[in-house]
């Protein structure tokens, strides 16, 4: 796997430090660690990482909300980490996510899956209005 610049969004300091260490040991670069929804959105715009690893539930805001905001502006591969993976999947079907706690092998598989998916920008196609037809 190639070296990735990863933006980590996690509000628990111990988890973020351990995860950052794991990512560096895997050969990746952690370009920043953010703890809030607003911080994640700002850092994504400024740093343009190769991948974001995002805690779904943050103390200030939501990782899910952050990624929804970011997706309207940019297509950044991402994966969610959560103590409630089923809840993440219910709110964001098809999202790449792993359940906390997780093993390094789980993280590696999730990273590979996230970067292999086509990055989507903007709202899902079903949410876009239909194109106007001439003469209508």
Q: What is the pLDDT of residues 2-57, one digit of tens each?
A: 899 999 999 999 999 999 999 999 999 999 999 999 999 999 999 999 999 999 99
Q: Could you read off the pLDDT of 98-136 as tens digits, one per residue? A: 999 999 999 999 999 999 986 554 444 333 334 444 554
Domain residue limits at 57:
5-117
In a domain, 133, yes or no: no
Distance CA 4, CA 46 (A): 16
Q: In what order do the strands lie in the sheet with 97-99?
A: 29-34, 5-9, 51-55, 78-82, 97-99
Integer angstrom CA distances of residue 48 from 18, 77, 100? 23, 10, 26
Exposure letters 56-86 (e unless 16+ CB within 10 A, then b): bbbeebbbbebbebbbeeeebbbbbbbeebe
In a domain, 123, yes or no: no
**Could you tell me the CATH number of the domain that includes residue 38?**
3.40.50.2300
pTM summary value: 0.85
Q: Which residues, in sequence order, are bridge partners of residue 5?
A: 29
In a domain, 105, yes or no: yes
Which pLDDT value is given to residue 119?
56
In a domain, 124, yes or no: no
Q: Are 101 and 82 in contact (CB under 8 A)?
A: no
Which pLDDT value is given to residue 80?
97
Which pLDDT value is given to residue 125?
37
**Chain centre to alpha carbon of residue 73:** 14
Q: Could you read off the pLDDT of 70-107 as tens digits, one per residue? A: 999 888 999 999 999 999 999 999 899 999 999 999 99
Number of separate domains in the chain: 1
Distance CA 63, CA 92 (A): 11
In a domain, 126, yes or no: no
Which pLDDT value is given to residue 117?
82
DSSP code for 62: B
In a domain, 63, yes or no: yes
């Amino acid at each position: 796997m190639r070296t990735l610049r990863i933006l980590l969004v996690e509000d628990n300091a111990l988890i973020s430090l351990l995860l950052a260490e794991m990512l560096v040991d895997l050969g990746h670069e952690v370009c920043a660690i953010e703890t809030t929804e607003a911080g994640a959105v700002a850092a994504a715009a400024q740093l343009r990482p190769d991948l974001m690893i995002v805690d779904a539930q943050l103390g200030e805001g939501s990782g899910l909300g952050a990624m929804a905001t970011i997706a309207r502006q940019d297509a950044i591969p991402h994966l969610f980490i959560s103590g409630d993976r089923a809840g993440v999947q219910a709110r964001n079907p098809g999202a790449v996510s792993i359940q906390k706690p997780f093993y390094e092998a789980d993280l590696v598989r999730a990273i590979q899956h996230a970067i292999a998916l086509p990055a989507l920008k903007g709202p899902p196609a079903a949410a876009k209005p239909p194109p106007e037809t001439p003469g209508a």
